[in-house]
């Protein structure tokens, strides 16, 4: 490649400050575009991360046949936990306590103090063995619920669309015709469990007048034990049970939400394209108003390639400033923000993947938005450029 005499680096920087108002407006406009891109990217990453951390590779879910993707409608007999504990040898245990969690899982209309209108929430009836199986569980406030009490997940308020103050420890809620007191709050490492409300499974069965369960979650020692559980369910065809590895269950959910993620990335692409056209429009206005200046630079010996690189440098500096501003706004306003979704709620993720993606979009806007106007302006003969008004 032949050596090219480039314009000084500070020439492009000084040009930006000579047109401070235009540069400022350009940065603001591009930062809005990049911020919107980061918002959608943070949504997609939040959904993906929530599903990824939700599955435990050592946990197997026992449910009715064919209900793997619709556990709230699954049913197994109330005697299932005892039968599984007595029949399977690979279940993890400690001090004689086997890691078997009988659970009743359903959607319920829930009313809180601030709003008499019910909102759809997720309720899970659990026993004291649930924290053994659900290893992500962490009690962050209050205590384990007694009868007439519930534990609320960290994102349960977001799922209900209610203020967090409605679900503080000591507050009350109503569902299934009964008033419940909040005994405490729990976190679960960002998993889908954080959207749920937990209560004692036997009490929930009594309220619903049900004797069955939705599923039984068990923790096993190794992959061999997982195979034993699956084989047991296949052999006992009279039970009509099915064993699904929890990671496989959430992987199927991630596949189910694939079209939503695809649409979200399509929106990101459209926003990025809009940003590129905004950059084109801005840079066209800036470059075409400098035709005489560009012609003069060619007259004093700078090549067209060097001038194009200088203009791209200016566009890139504007776009990167906008990207950094948008990234800072996203870290403050978006990171950890809880949003409602069909599966519950999850927190937006402005992690390294999201930030790098936003910066790459900014670079693309800066480069692709600067090249066409620069090339267009330099197509004009030097003599005509020097005469331009």
Report CA dihedral (216, 217, 218, 223) to the nearest 10 degrees. 120
Give yes or no for a contact between 275 and 33, defined as CB atoms under 8 angstroms apart. Answer: yes
Average pLDDT, the chain: 84
Among 203, 159, 375, CA closest to 283: 375
Which whole number is the average pLDDT over 138-167? Answer: 92
Return the residue matching tokens 């309720």.
Answer: 123
Which whole number is the average pLDDT over 313-323? Answer: 86
Q: For 213-257, where are the alpha helices, taking DSSP H only?
A: 223-235, 246-256
> pLDDT tens digit string along 213-262?
999 999 998 888 888 888 888 888 778 888 889 988 888 888 877 888 78
d(CA 130, CA 217): 8
Residues of the chain with pLDDT > 90, as a percent, come to 29
Q: What pLDDT score was predicted for residue 388?
A: 57
Confidence of residue 68 (pLDDT cuts 50, 70, 90): low
Among 78, 71, 67, 90, CA closest to 219: 90
> pLDDT tens digit string along 92-141?
988 888 999 999 999 899 998 877 788 899 999 999 999 999 999 999 99
Among 22-31, 205-214, 275-284, top mean pLDDT goes to: 205-214
Residue 180, phi then psi, degrees to nearest 5 = -120, 145
Give yes or no for a contact between 347 and 194, defined as CB atoms under 8 angstroms apart. Answer: no
The total number of residues shown for the chain amounts to 389
Give yes or no for a contact between 238 and 48, defined as CB atoms under 8 angstroms apart. Answer: no
Report the predicted TM-score, pTM, of the whole model to 2 decimal places.
0.80
Is the pLDDT assigned to residue 144 strictly greater than 90?
Answer: yes
Q: What pLDDT score was predicted for residue 288?
A: 67
């Amino acid at each position: 490649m032949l050596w090219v005499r480039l314009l000084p680096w500070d020439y492009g920087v000084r040009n930006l400050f000579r047109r401070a108002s235009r540069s400022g407006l350009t940065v603001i406009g591009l930062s809005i575009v990049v911020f919107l891109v980061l918002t959608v990217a943070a949504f997609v990453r939040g959904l993906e991360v929530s599903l990824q951390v939700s599955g435990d590779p050592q946990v197997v879910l026992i449910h009715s046949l064919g209900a793997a993707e619709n556990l709230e409608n699954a049913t197994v007999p109330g005697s299932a936990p005892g039968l599984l504990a007595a029949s399977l040898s690979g279940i993890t245990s400690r001090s004689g306590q086997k890691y078997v969690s009988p659970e009743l899982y359903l959607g319920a209309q829930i009313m809180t103090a601030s709003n008499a209108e019910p909102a759809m929430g997720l309720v899970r009836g659990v026993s004291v063995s649930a924290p053994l199986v659900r290893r992500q569980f962490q009690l962050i406030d209050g205590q384990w619920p007694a009868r007439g009490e519930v534990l609320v997940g960290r994102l349960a308020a977001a799922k209900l669309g209610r203020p967090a103050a409605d679900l503080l420890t000591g507050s009350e809620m109503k569902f299934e015709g009964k008033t419940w007191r909040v005994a405490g709050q729990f976190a679960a490492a960002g998993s889908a469990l954080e959207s749920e409300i937990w209560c004692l499974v036997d009490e929930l069965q009594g309220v619903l007048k049900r004797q069955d369960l939705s599923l039984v979650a068990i923790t096993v020692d190794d992959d061999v034990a997982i195979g034993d559980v699956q084989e047991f369910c296949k052999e006992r065809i009279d039970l009509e049970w099915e064993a699904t590895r929890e990671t496989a269950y959430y992987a199927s959910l991630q596949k189910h939400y694939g079209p939503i993620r695809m649409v979200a990335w399509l929106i990101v692409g459209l926003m990025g394209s809009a940003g590129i056209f905004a950059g084109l429009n801005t840079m066209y206005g800036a470059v075409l108003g400098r035709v005489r200046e560009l012609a003069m630079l060619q007259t004093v010996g700078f090549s067209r390639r060097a001038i194009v690189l200088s203009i791209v440098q200016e566009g890139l500096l504007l776009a990167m400033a906008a990207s950094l501003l948008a990234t800072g706004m996203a870290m403050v306003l978006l990171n950890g923000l809880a949003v409602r979704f069909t599966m519950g709620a999850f927190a937006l993720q402005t992690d390294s993947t999201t930030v790098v993606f936003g910066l790459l979009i900014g670079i693309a806007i800066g480069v692709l938005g600067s090249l066409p106007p620069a090339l267009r302006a330099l197509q004009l003969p030097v003599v005509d450029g020097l005469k331009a008004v």
